[in-house]
Structure 1
């Protein structure tokens, strides 16, 4: 645990070297499961939360589980635009029905399914100091040519610690109450489209670590409405799966977003589905006098620069 805290402290100490992108509207990780490449912005405190319900049907064990829970996230931009401190977690209650002979037995459990405190740090921003491509007045073909540099993503690193207190039924026998989590996060912004990738190593000091990846694609349909699709894969001796998510978010105001989403998987041990809804709200104490002159996000006017997180890149209405 002390090593993890030392790593987080080191991130804080080196966080003065870069400038990321603060945006006029909220940027949220919801409703997807991935983290976006950019921090919320210095001085910004943001809450992301919402309930979910679903069902797991395990064909092999002849058991069915009804699930009701709530997920939450609290994010804060500290010291610089590049550094974000955060805590993510979920509380879940389950009722499992198991067929034993000719009778059904019910078992209940509830506790915090996950709790992770950590820090995300932007180490590379391709839009920093980028200059706008000027049109070629003599060649239409040159103007239409694919720009390979747009494939270069923003890159962040994440380090955190999972923690649990008391007798938690969601821990397997022998699992420690504290364990590390690390991730590499990439993000590409292509106008109304955003691609986010997370590569995750979770509980890698435990007997049964989990490794996984998440790919999230978001499209801004209108200045206030966006949709997303997401793939998540787990590899572990305890639980392995492939999950698809989809959903939408709506921007009610600059600091408030609401969302809805659902998930399904590809196997029957167990077969899963869930539906979730929620909101993201920020308290914006960012320095209003700070002007972003060294960040650029393509050929749009700077006044149209909006949310850059995994989530939902809403674009400004035309003046």
Structure 2
């Protein structure tokens, strides 16, 4: 318990020192380590992180699992917000159980060992100064930016399902909470710290932490060192891991890792090999500006597509409602139409009617021909 208190105090001191867009041009995978970055993959990204692993124990005790071989898959995506991510963790493995009854010393079983769903949200993102633009002072350009000591922070909330193999079943659904921290100490070195409280409400409720340091040799190759501690009522597990990752393209990464797990008097060896792949459907958000820097609001295009029956019916009722509103606001009188009398009608009223008018018109025409 004294060790746990020291670790909690250490993380409290670190957290007291407490990239806006989450999307990156290249894939950002959590593999091959066990820690999780506080950053989301970005909206429109569908990312798969998967691999095979093998775990073996040197000392075989009763009711233990000396050997395991399995497949792990993590699916990550984001829909509504750049800072919000949803993920699913699935593990299928074959285990060798050391003891079943007095007649058999071991047996094999295959099933799901983990199926959980979670979400994380970046609550604080640390921004750093661009030292490359500092040309007046060599010392200031190469000085350490103390803002890098303040980590970016995300909150994780998840749930562990009970759809697992019998040897991994608990009382039922159990929640999981965590704090995810990341310090980018330089462009090549970053430190990720995770603190979790898992299986809450069960007899096997667990406190755990992970510290991972990742260093990038160049744009393609990177390596990591990791330490993990897990504590519950029945046992204490600590492990140290290392590995390497190769970025073979903007959307594809290959990795390999190994670690040693110390479980009481038992030492376990772990090896993993996997890859990460993403489907990029990200649409960047930007604003159009005019010459004065004001945001241009684009007008919604008018659809020329012919609407179906229900669409036309809806427009008809909207038109009636709008027309009714106009009549209530403006009580205009109906214009009075006046009939304009024609030239022929005027002539009828003056002399002898229509036939007299024709005679006068003909007589006027004959006088014009005779030169009168």
Same fold (TM over 0.5): yes
Give the Å deviation of 1:62: 9.6
Aligned residue among 257, 260, 265 for 1:264:
260
**Cα distance change of structure 1 residues 64 and 39 upon mapping to structure 2, 3 Å threshold:** closer
CA contact (8 A) 2:78 2:84 kept: yes
Residues 206-242 of structure 1 deviation map (CA, whole Å, 9 limit, x = unaligned):
1221001000111111210111110000011133211
Q: CA RMSD in A?
A: 2.6
SS at match of 1:266: strand
Aligned pairs for 1:115-264 (under 5 A) are: 115-127=115-127, 131-133=129-131, 134-135=133-134, 137=136, 140-165=138-163, 168-171=166-169, 175-189=170-184, 190-264=186-260
Q: Aligned in 2, Cα 1:58/1:149: closer, same or farther, shift over 3 Å?
A: same
Structure 1 segments unaligned to the other structure (5+ residues): 1-17, 293-319
Distance 1:166 1:96, change over 3 A: closer
Preserved CA contact (<8 Å) 2:49 2:73:
yes
Alpha-carbon deviations, 1:237-260, whole Å to 9, x = none? 133211011101111111010110
Q: How far apart, CA to CA, are the structure 2 residues paired with 1:235 and 1:62?
A: 19
Aligned partners of 2:253 and 2:180: how far apart in 1?
Answer: 23
Tell me the distance in 2 between the aligned counterparts of 1:120 and 1:64.
Answer: 32
Contact 1:57–1:269 under 8 Å retained in 2: no
TM-score by length of 1: 0.77
Contact 1:59/1:268 (8 A) holds in 2: no
The equivalent residue for 1:112 is 112
Check conservation: 2:74, 2:87, Cα contact below 8 A: yes
The structure whose Rg is larger is 2
Q: 1:184 to 1:255 in 2, by over 3 A?
A: same
Alignment gaps of 5+ in structure 2:
1-18, 288-372
Deviation at 1:180, TM superposition (A): 0.2
Displacement of 1:143:
4.1
Distance change (3 Å), C-alpha of 1:110 and 1:62: closer
Change (3 A) 1:205 1:195: same
More helix by share: 2
State the structure with bigger RCO (CA 8 A, min sep 6), 1 or 2: 1
Q: Which residue is 2:22 aligned to?
A: 21
Distance 1:170 1:253, change over 3 A: same
Q: How does 1:20-39 map to 2 (within 5 A)?
A: 20-39=21-40
Give the TM-score taking structure 2 as reference length: 0.66
C-alpha separation between the residues in 1 aligned to 2:41 and 2:22? 9
1:167/1:55 CA distance change after superposition, 3 Å: closer
